[in-house]
Structure 1
Amino acid sequence: MRLTGSITALATPFTASAELDLDAWRTLLAKQLEGGTQAVVVAGSTGEAAALFDAEYDTLLRSAVEFVAGRIPVLAGTGLSNTAKTIELNRRVAALGADAALVVAPPYVRPTQAGLLAHYRAIADDGALPVVLYNVPGRTGCDLLPATVAELAAHPRIVGIKEAVSDPQRMHELLALKSDAFAVLSGDDPTACRAMLAGADGIVSVGSNAMPAAFRRLADLARAGKRGDAEAWDARLRPAYDFLGVEPNPIPVKALLAAQGIGHGLRLPLQTLSPAHADAARQASALAAELEHLSRANLAA
């Protein structure tokens, strides 16, 4: 399996009473397929995995696997603060039909680089699923450094990395590790165009929840090396990037989805978007509708 192009880190829709909204979930999945999304992540940080009970997690993943029916890869967001628990979770998601595990660096415990090496090797050695590394220091409190990634990339069951550090030097170092067996993916919407123009295989996006076709267009242009067109399209997306950062993810993107009739909110301690950002949300929603219309016409051409 090789992961490329526009990949969506799916949000988890809830009802007004904060229960899983499976009808909205299937609507979101359909929207992704129609918009050209090339893989999806279930129950990552954007999917509020920490707020899901085990049975809910399993229901979401099982439903996604059944709905997608092999048309695109389905990744399961895993990665806990303990190695043995992560291995157990990876076995569970493999049994539910996931194609790969997106394994975030262990949150909160702040392991050393040697600890990260041992952690990921143990998970990959278990062999339940192909492993995609996920580095997001702002959420986990530890940084999976490129030298450590270089050692891990040699493992046959470790197939890529989602890198959320936006520094171009970091991406440059990781791109040196890219191969047919190891994909390098941007995990940062605002700098993904730059990363893909430099050679990254794709993007694992938050904004593509609400704008799947627009992000597919961005990925296609950038990965084809069409710098002028890609940068021009990226500039049109820039106000959306700005809005998606006004409050912690996934609060803003769930406001955009709610405006599209997909879900009603979040689970505590997260709350819905502050009224102070209501005007920005309306503007971002209008932009999303405009760019999706243009992009879907382009995909159909």
Structure 2
Amino acid sequence: MFKGSYVALVTPMDDQGEIDYTSLEKLVAFHIDNGTHGIVSVGTTGESATLPFDEHIQVVKKTVEFAQGAIPIIAGSGANSTAEAIFLSEQLSGTGVAGFLSVVPYYNKPQQKGMIAHFNAIADATDLPVMLYNVPGRTVADMLPETVAELAKHQNIIGLKDATGDIARLKQTQSLVSSDFLFFSGDDPTSCDFLCEGGQGVISVTANIVPKQMAQLCEAALAGNFEQAKQINDGISSLHTALFIESNPVIPKWALFKMAMINSAQLRLPLVSPELASQNEIEQIMRETGVL
């Protein structure tokens, strides 16, 4: 089904904070041309928390339109309200998306039983595949391997984006689910190890900046060429770290602006432009890695 390098795509905005669809079209073409295997549209890197429903849905629709079927588009449809997550999934089901990425509810701190009820309700509301997303560094609540195993019994829940960075957690969860359940890394610094230990892909922030390298890394690892994958990873490992020196997607948007891939590095409040020291640091690393 899904495999390889999926970019957690930023949502470009103009200097007034409105969605910049010209830049969005340019980004989609950039990823198709550089071998990205798929796009996650309006996930957390796409600033889903600050896009109202109408914008959220429109950005996904335009991303699907711009891709013209060349690569699959997974729509972010998570929310800390189960009803809102179901609403988004229902509204996006007819847009041409290939599936959904649904994050563990944030702030609420649901119990494990609450997570099971939440995700089963979302999966019941759609015929499209749903990928779970566990990112306790942002949501505080941590979806445990046993919870993933219970949710994997639902025919529409097909995989997990794991952003814990814990390879032991990957191995533990793999042992509890069927062999066709998908595991995607959501932690760029450990993504190469994740793939080498049996993951099927990544949903990557770094891929915003170096899509070709992330695609090649995934292809090498999935082909069993682990040394080649590690060599590619070594060449971009400094980017994995630098892109998170401030809250995501502050630095990725700044980097794309410096690459002239988007017209503005504008973010939605409460996120603001990076500090000058951060700008200097990411520019230096982009030059060292050949991006600039």
Compute the TM-score of the two structures, normalised by the length of structure 2.
0.95
Q: Which residue of 1 aligns with 2:108?
A: 109
Between 190-199 and 49-58, the greater mean CA deviation after superposition: 49-58
Q: How far has the Cα of 1:270 moved from its partner?
A: 0.5
Q: 8 Å contact 2:6–2:36 — kept in the other structure?
A: yes
Equivalents in 2 of 1:290, 1:55: separation in Å? 34
Q: How far has the Cα of 1:95 moved from its partner?
A: 2.4
Q: Which residue of 1 aligns with 2:33?
A: 34
Instruction: Give 1:40-55 correspondences, 5 Å limit.
Output: 40-55=39-54
- CA gap of 1:7–1:101, structure 2 versus 1, over 3 A, is same
Between 270-279 and 178-187, the greater mean CA deviation after superposition: 178-187
Q: Which residue of 1 aligns with 2:7?
A: 8
Instruction: Give 1:243-258 correspondences, 5 Å limit.
Output: 243-258=242-257
Between 207-216 and 166-175, the greater mean CA deviation after superposition: 166-175
Q: How far has the Cα of 1:169 moved from its partner?
A: 1.0
Equivalents in 1 of 2:79, 2:64: separation in Å? 22
Q: How far has the Cα of 1:181 moved from its partner?
A: 3.9
Q: Which residue of 2 aligns with 1:269?
A: 270
More helix by percentage: 1
Instruction: Give 1:198-209 correspondences, 5 Å limit.
Output: 198-209=197-208
Equivalents in 1 of 2:175, 2:37: separation in Å? 24
Equivalents in 2 of 1:95, 1:287: separation in Å? 43
Q: How far has the Cα of 1:141 moved from its partner?
A: 1.8
Q: How far has the Cα of 1:38 moved from its partner?
A: 0.8
Equivalents in 1 of 2:289, 2:33: separation in Å? 15
| RMSD (Å), alpha carbons | 1.6
Q: How far has the Cα of 1:278 moved from its partner?
A: 2.6
Equivalents in 2 of 1:61, 1:136: separation in Å? 22
Equivalents in 2 of 1:185, 1:7: separation in Å? 9
> How many residues are treated as equivalent by the alignment?
290
| Deviation digits for residues 44-75 of structure 1 (CA, Å, limit 9, x no counterpart) | 11000111122221221111111112222111
| 3-state DSSP of counterpart to 1:193 | helix
Letter paired with 1:267: R
Q: Which residue of 1 aligns with 2:99?
A: 100
> Which consecutive unaligned segments of at least 5 residues does structure 1 have?
292-301
Q: 8 Å contact 2:42–2:76 — kept in the other structure?
A: yes
Q: Which residue of 1 aligns with 2:218?
A: 219
- CA gap of 1:184–1:36, structure 2 versus 1, over 3 A, is same
Equivalents in 2 of 1:63, 1:224: separation in Å? 33
Between 122-131 and 200-209, the greater mean CA deviation after superposition: 122-131
Between 207-216 and 177-186, the greater mean CA deviation after superposition: 177-186
Equivalents in 1 of 2:157, 2:10: separation in Å? 25
Q: How far has the Cα of 1:168 moved from its partner?
A: 1.6
Equivalents in 1 of 2:214, 2:93: separation in Å? 28
Q: How far has the Cα of 1:263 moved from its partner?
A: 3.7
| 3-state DSSP of counterpart to 2:272 | coil
| Deviation digits for residues 215-251 of structure 1 (CA, Å, limit 9, x no counterpart) | 0011112222222222122111111112112111111
| Deviation digits for residues 1-46 of structure 1 (CA, Å, limit 9, x no counterpart) | x110000010011111211111000000000101111111111110
Q: How far has the Cα of 1:96 moved from its partner?
A: 2.3
| 3-state DSSP of counterpart to 1:57 | helix
Q: 8 Å contact 1:81–1:108 — kept in the other structure?
A: yes
| 3-state DSSP of counterpart to 1:247 | coil
Q: Which residue of 2 aligns with 1:279?
A: 280
| 3-state DSSP of counterpart to 2:79 | coil
| Deviation digits for residues 70-123 of structure 1 (CA, Å, limit 9, x no counterpart) | 222111111111212211110001122222110001111111111111111111
Equivalents in 1 of 2:137, 2:55: separation in Å? 26
Compute the TM-score of the two structures, normalised by the length of structure 1.
0.92
Equivalents in 1 of 2:174, 2:283: separation in Å? 37
Equivalents in 2 of 1:125, 1:178: separation in Å? 20
> Which consecutive unaligned segments of at least 5 residues does structure 2 have?
none
Letter paired with 2:122: I
Q: How far has the Cα of 1:176 moved from its partner?
A: 2.7
Q: How far has the Cα of 1:179 moved from its partner?
A: 4.6
